[in-house]
């Protein structure tokens, strides 16, 4: 009886030619067309999604909110941690229709600290639809704060460089290691003084660097946060397994899981047939490896596990120094800023470092540097979370974010920080009234030109900011 093969290879080779080179060329052409078709379809789909997103966001209106807090602030960064957690609740996962037809774009917030001529202001940039949410989250933690809509300060600075009057230095700021590794948080700055827990506020160094600049100079720092789902924790778990020496297949594809299962079955059959020592379970292996880790690595793993216990947000930071050319000195402002951010670094875990700056040392350095200046300025002004050819955003949890951006405690001496003017209580009838004020002027009761000054008739503790500042 003649056996008929299930697959007649000779007939296929005869159809496309018996020459192996012809077979190879035919296969290459077939897969080449398939790859080209896939690439074109993907490009068209991305362009369509981008078009729908731009059309969707055209109707969005944004506002900039200036936040003044009372001079006697006793709230720790824990209050701002709750603020970030509050805003993370706007995350929405789109369905296919919302993504491809509705042009769904996840809303984001930009938390900023700005120093103009040495005068410092805390700001929040948000879509107008979420202004009430931001104000509610802020007032919940700081009931006596004053929140005022101001003009966007970035509009007074040129977009394109080189410029005849201004020059800038800018960079995106990211993490030195995988975002699973934590940075130093505000709780690590606490120390005991006379049997009392005292927070050595890390904001003091940051604000000191902002107050060092003079007339004609500005420093901007923005932290853009975007709510995300909790899937980022899977990457953290995978990184922990990698550090502990385990091979995790939870995130692998169906093929990898299939071959892993086959390998496990073969290993068990081999053990039962030929004997030998049974392989330790993954939990036992993890415990054994963990016990042999150095203290630094063990602390890093513990930090990663603790990071997952709090809400995470997609994050990117960006810093810009602007100065008139006759007074341009980025070393004065930027070195102090980056140095103050270095205090959040942990040698065995993670560090905050510049990731995409204007400096370049290769061919056509000046031209490429100006191109980066234009890109970074555009992305800062539009509050874009990432640059297409730059590093990707990373994940910080709410405690890490609150460690970097929070309102300083009352013992932090920053005389040019805008705070709420103290409000006197109503005196008894017949007694002389003496008005008192805080360190700076209130951001209410000012003229419409965008100058933040004390209310008319109130004294001020300092001479007051220049009349061209864009805060009101």
DSSP 314: E
- How much is the pTM? 0.75
Residue 251, number of CB atoms within 10 A of its CB: 12
Q: Tell me the DSSP string of 254-303.
A: HHHHHHHHHHHHHHHHHHHHH--PPPPPHHHHHHHHHHTS-HHHHHHHHH
The helix or strand, by DSSP H or E, that contains position 119, with its residue range, turns out to be strand 119-127
The whole-number pLDDT of residue 23 equals 67
Residues making up the chain, counted from first to last: 472
Q: Which runs of consecutive H residues, i.e. helices, occur in 398-468?
A: 398-404
Tell me which long-range contacts 45-50 makes (C-beta under 8 A, separation of at least 24).
45/100, 48/100, 49/99, 49/100, 49/103
Which residues are bridge partners to 352 per DSSP?
Answer: 175
Q: How far, in Å, are 334, 337, 351, 404 from residue 340 at the CA level?
A: 10, 5, 12, 10
Model confidence pLDDT, tens digit, residues 292-309:
677 877 888 999 999 999
Burial annotation 167-183 (CB, 10 A radius, 16+ → b, else e): bbbbbbbbbebbbbbbb
Retrieve residue 196's tokens: 């009392």
Per-residue CA distances from 416 to 207, 419, 461, 462 (Å): 9, 9, 10, 8
Q: Which of 214, 219, 209, 216 is nearest to 319 (CA)?
A: 219
pLDDT score recorded for residue 439: 38
What angle, 0 to 180 degrees and rounded to 10, lies between the N-to-C axes of helices 9-16 and 20-57? 80
Residue 250 CA to residue 237 CA, distance in Å, equals 10
CB of 223 within 8 A of CB of 404? yes
For residue 240, give the H/E element and its range.
Answer: helix 232-244
pLDDT at 164: 93
Contacts from 93-98 at CB under 8 Å and sequence distance 24+? 93/229
Name the one residue in this structure whose structure tokens are 């720790």.
76
Residues 125, 403: Cα–Cα separation, whole Å:
19
Residue ranges of the domains in the chain? 9-50, 61-230+311-404, 234-302
Q: What is the pLDDT of residue 135?
A: 97
Q: Are 443 and 452 in contact (CB under 8 A)?
A: yes
Residue 39's pLDDT is what? 87
User: How far apart (Å, rounded) are the C-alpha atoms in residues 97 and 81?
Assistant: 34
β-pairing, 109-116 vs 394-397, is unpaired
The per-residue pLDDT for 249 is: 41
Q: Closest by alpha carbon to 401, among 339, 311, 306, 340?
A: 311
Q: What is the pLDDT along the chain (472 residues), one digit of tens a residue?
A: 555 554 454 554 555 555 667 767 777 777 777 888 888 888 888 888 888 878 877 889 999 999 998 888 888 899 999 999 999 999 988 778 777 777 778 899 999 999 999 899 999 999 999 999 999 999 999 999 999 999 999 999 999 999 999 999 999 999 999 999 999 999 888 765 555 566 688 888 889 889 888 889 999 999 999 999 999 999 999 999 998 885 444 444 544 444 454 455 455 544 444 455 544 444 454 454 455 677 877 888 999 999 999 999 999 999 999 999 988 988 887 888 898 999 999 988 999 999 998 877 677 788 889 999 999 999 999 999 998 888 899 999 999 999 999 998 877 766 667 666 655 445 445 545 444 443 343 444 333 334 343 334 444 444 445 556 666 5
Contact status, residue 225 vs residue 315, Cβ threshold 8 Å: yes
**56 close to 105: Cβ distance less than 8 angstroms:** yes
Reported as type and span, the H/E element at residue 219 is strand 217-227
**Which CATH number is 61-230+311-404 given?**
3.40.462
Which tokens sit at 179? 């975002």
Angle between helices 131-141 and 78-87 (to 10 degrees): 150
pLDDT at 19: 67
* CA distance linking residue 223 with residue 245, whole number of Å: 34
Six-digit token string for 219: 């420093």
Q: What stretch of H or E contains 25? A: helix 20-57
What is the distance between the alpha carbons of residues 184 and 431, in angstroms, rounded to a whole number? 52
Using CA atoms, how far apart are residues 42 and 119, in angstroms rounded to an integer?
A: 48
Distance separating alpha carbons of residues 437 and 419, to the nearest angstrom: 10
pLDDT for the residue numbered 246: 58
CA R_g for the chain? 29
In DSSP terms, 319 is beta-bridged to: 171, 221
Q: Are 449 and 112 in contact (CB under 8 A)?
A: no
Tokens of 462: 């300092």
């Amino acid at each position: 009886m003649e056996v008929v093969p299930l697959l007649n290879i000779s007939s296929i080779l005869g159809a496309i030619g018996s020459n192996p080179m012809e077979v190879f060329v035919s296969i290459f052409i077939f897969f080449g067309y398939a790859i080209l078709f896939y690439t074109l379809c993907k490009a068209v789909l991305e362009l369509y999604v981008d078009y729908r997103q731009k059309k969707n966001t055209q109707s969005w209106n944004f506002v900039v909110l200036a936040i003044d807090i009372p001079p006697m602030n006793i709230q720790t960064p824990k209050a701002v941690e709750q603020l970030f957690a509050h805003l993370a609740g706007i995350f929405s996962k789109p369905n296919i229709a919302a993504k491809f037809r509705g042009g769904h774009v996840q809303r984001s917030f930009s938390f900023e600290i700005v120093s103009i001529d040495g005068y410092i202001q805390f700001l929040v940039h948000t879509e107008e639809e979420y202004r009430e949410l931001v104000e509610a989250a802020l007032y919940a933690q700081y009931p006596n704060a004053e929140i005022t809509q101001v003009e966007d300060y970035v509009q007074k600075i040129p977009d394109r460089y080189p410029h005849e009057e201004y020059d800038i230095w800018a960079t995106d700021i990211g993490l030195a290691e995988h975002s699973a590794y934590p940075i130093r948080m505000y709780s690590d700055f606490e120390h005991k003084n006379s049997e009392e827990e005292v927070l050595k506020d890390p904001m003091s160094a940051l604000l000191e660097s902002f107050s060092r600049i003079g007339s004609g100079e500005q420093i901007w720092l923005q932290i853009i946060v975007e709510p995300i789902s909790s899937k980022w924790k899977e990457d953290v778990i995978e990184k922990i397994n990698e550090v502990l020496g385990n091979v995790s297949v939870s995130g692998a594809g169906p093929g990898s899981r299939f071959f892993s299962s086959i390998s496990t079955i073969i290993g068990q059959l081999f053990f039962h047939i030929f004997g030998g020592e049974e392989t330790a379970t993954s939990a036992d292996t993890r415990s054994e490896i963990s016990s042999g880790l150095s203290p630094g690595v063990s602390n890093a793993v513990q930090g990663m596990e603790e990071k997952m216990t709090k809400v995470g947000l997609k994050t990117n930071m960006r810093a810009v120094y602007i100065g008139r050319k006759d007074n341009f000195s980025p070393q004065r402002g930027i070195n102090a800023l980056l140095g103050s951010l270095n205090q959040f670094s942990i040698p065995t875990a993670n560090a905050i470092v510049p990731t995409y700056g204007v400096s370049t040392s290769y061919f056509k350095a000046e031209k490429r540097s100006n191109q980066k200046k234009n890109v970074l300025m555009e992305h800062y002004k539009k509050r874009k979370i990432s640059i297409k050819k730059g590093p990707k955003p990373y994940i910080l949890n709410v405690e890490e974010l609150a460690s970097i951006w929070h309102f300083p405690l009352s013992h932090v001496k920053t005389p040019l920080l805008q705070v709420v003017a103290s409000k006197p209580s109503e005196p008894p009838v017949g007694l002389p009234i003496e008005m008192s004020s805080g360190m700076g002027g209130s951001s209410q009761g000012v003229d419409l030109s965008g100058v933040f000054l004390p209310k008319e008739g109130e004294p001020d503790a300092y001479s007051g900011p220049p009349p061209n500042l864009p805060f009101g």
